[in-house]
Structure formats: C-alpha cells, structure tokens
Copies of this chain bind each other. A is one copy, B any other.
Amino acid sequence: MKVLHEVEGGVCAPKGFKAAGMHCGIRKNKEKKDLALIVSDVPCSAAGVFTQNLVKGAPVVVTGRNIADGRAQAVIVNSGNANACNDGGEMVAERMCALVTETCGIPARDVIVASTGVIGQPLDIAPIAGAMGALAAGLGDNSNDAAEAIMTTDTVPKSVAVGFSLGGKECRIGAIAKGVGMICPNMATTLIFITSDVAISPAMLKKALSADVKTSFNMVSIDGDQSTNDTCCIMCNGLAGNAAITEAGADYGTFCKALHYCTVKLSRMIAKDGEGATKLIECNVSGARSANSARNVAKAVIKSSLVKAAMFGADANWGRVLCAIGYSGERVDPDAIDVAFRSAAGEVVVCKDGRGVPFSEDEAKKVLLKDEVKIDVDLKSGRCRASAWGCDLTYDYVKINGDYRT
C-alpha cells in the first residue's frame, strides 16, 4: 500500500479534473490572469466553509446556496473585484454560474463561484462573459494557470497535491490557494479550492472539511482581519474507484490525513507569503487543558503585533509571548509556562516556569534570523496541543496596506 506522498499537478492531479486560467479584463494589467475555471468530468460530492464575517460578498451567499445539497461540479472564480458591498452582486454571481452552464453544460446550481479584489464596486460581467468560450476551450492540465488567476498581492502561486491508497486504489487530493493579508485595494481574502478523485459521501466530506479547517486554515493569521469573501471548497468525484467512504473508519482516517497534509502545507504557504513578511512564524503549544485552549493560546501569540514586530527584528523578546498568552482568554498558570525559540539554526530556551532564564543573545539572534521560526510554548497544565501559523510585521506590510493609492 502506497504511503502518503506529494505529486505534481495541483487541482488537476486527481482523475477527471481540468483547469484553466486567463486574463479576461477585470484587471487593467493584461499580464495578470484574473479568471479561473475548474471542472470535473462527473458530478462531485462537495463541501465548503466560508467567512464568519457578517458582511459577506455576494459569491459567498450564492455558493452557500449551491453547495447546500452537497453536490458540485465546477468552480468559477475571478480576481480584481470581490463583488461585495455593491448593488446587484448576487445577480452577477448567479450569472457567472450560468456562464459555466452555457459553456460546459454543468447546471448552475452545481457551480461554486468566488471573487476576490476591490469591494464596494459593481463587478462587470461583460469581460467574464466575453472570455468564457476561450476559458472553457482552454480546460486541461492547467492548475498553475488557475492558481495564478486567483492571486492578488500574493507573490507566489500556492499549490499542493498528494497521492495515497484506499483499498488498493491510487487516490489523489489536489489544491490551490490564495491569500496574503488584505488584497489591493481592499481586504484580506483567502480562497482555497480542493479537488479529489476519492469516493466519499457528501455528509462525510462535510465532516472531514469542517474538522480539518479548525487545525489548518483557521490557525493562520496574517493581520487578524477577516475577509468578507473567505471561501474553502472541496469537490470529490469518486473516479479513483475506491469503496465509497460513508462512515468513520480506516479509509476515512486515511482521507483526513491526506487532506490535512495538503491544508497544513497551504496554511504555511499562506502565512509565509503574508503581506510584507520576511519569515514564517509557527507557534506550537503543548501541555494545554483542551484542544480549544491550545488553539486559542497559539493564535494569541501569532496575532500579537508586538511578537510579530519582534520576530521581524530577530529579537528574542519572550516577554511579549508570555504577555500574549496571558491575554488569550484561556485559563493558564503563568508560573508554569516554558518558552523556547527554534529554527534550522538551533533552539534557545528563554523562559522556564514563567521566569526568564539566562540565554545567549547571539545564539538567539542566529535562531531568529532564519526564514522559518518556531515558538514553542509548554503550558504544563494538560496534554493537548495546537499549532498556528503567521508572519512577522514589517515595513512592507505598512507600505502595501497604507500606500497603495499613492
């Protein structure tokens, strides 16, 4: 039985999926792709999780409706305009779905639609309608084009795919993502589209995705802001031919593990590409009373502006870590907390039992100057663990988010 391993191909790695991405004209820069399409040869089990922001973009509302029956077959997504906080946005989002019907023969109610970009402005359907024929004609092994078309201030396309076995059948999961903080000129949006050829019931797929995001995408924070358009959708078409997963068990466990590999890898990529970021920060909390407590502590550390700024300065300022833990809202014992900084350059213990311990500033600097830094926190009050991912706070974050119109 083949163990979990990475493969090429992104969302096209699983059997029966094709993708395309192109410039249609929503963005002024013709070099920049702004429209993507992903389709499955056959209908899929599908599930999605969306922004908890009360202010929701129109595509989030439409996709929520379309995916409610646990079925989907295509994704249409544009960058350059978020189709949010405008008039008639839902009609435009519905129209995008209808364009997939017209060009690919897939029912509009089986289309996942998403948008990312400026908010508060109407999204013109004309450039999308004009490009749909060419987009559909270009469907193929083009996951990279789709990954590029959903980028905003992302500096790199984000993609992953894995192979694994279920009952002797070779299975695949592929995914693309975007998200780097806020997008020019408006706000943070994380979009994630996952494909798989695994056969799984809509109910179990929904369960798997909902559980997974708690310890993957929901543990990423660039700047603490939450977008109106955040969307993570998965489609599974069953073409791998495995015995359909309809209940918890070994196969479900294997699928969840493969899914988690992909979502954590993308989470780290999203955090590392945070706006202006020079490094990835991972906070690993252990010894917590509950999983929820571990997650909240890890996120408080990752979100602290003072911790983020210290990491930018490669400054072993553990007091800020302790401070963030203290205001996390979780019941911790301040006199039990250990803190260490860790990277490819080594490990430096800076705090034991809530008190500073002597350490070499030079050693600490070396550890913190690496582009992936881990902050290990042991609460010594239980057996639960969690990890969260973020990035440092830099001049460039301020520049990107303060100066974009000037």
Contacts and interface: CB of A to CB of B under 8 A. Distances in A.
A146 interface: no
A186 B307 CA distance: 10
A56 to B, nearest CB: 7
A31 interface: no
A398 B312 contact: yes
Given A55-B323, A120-B319, A225-B323, A309 B186 contact: no
Interface string A90-119: 000000000000000000000000000011
Contact of A306 (B85, B188, B313): B188
A395 B399 contact: yes
Contacts of A304: 224-225
A182 interface: yes
A354 interface: yes
A85 B355 CA distance: 5
A186 B319 contact: yes
Nearest to A187: B323
Contact of A55 (B334, B401, B404, B405): B334
Contacts of A397: 305, 309, 398
A302 to B, nearest CB: 13
Interface in A365-406: 392-395, 397-399, 401-406
Interface stretch (A148-156, A166-174, A195-203, A324-332): A324-332
A292 interface: no
A185 B317 contact: yes
A224 B226 contact: no
A227 interface: yes
B223 A306 contact: yes
Contacts of A185: 315, 317
A122 to B, nearest CB: 9
A310 interface: yes
A228 interface: yes
A204 B167 CA distance: 73
Contacts of A218: none
Contacts of A305: 223-225, 305, 397, 401
A80 to B, nearest CB: 14
A246 interface: no
A210 interface: no
A322 interface: yes
B402 A310 contact: yes
Contacts of A404: 313, 315
5 contacts: A55-B322, A121-B356, A187-B320, A309-B402, A397-B398
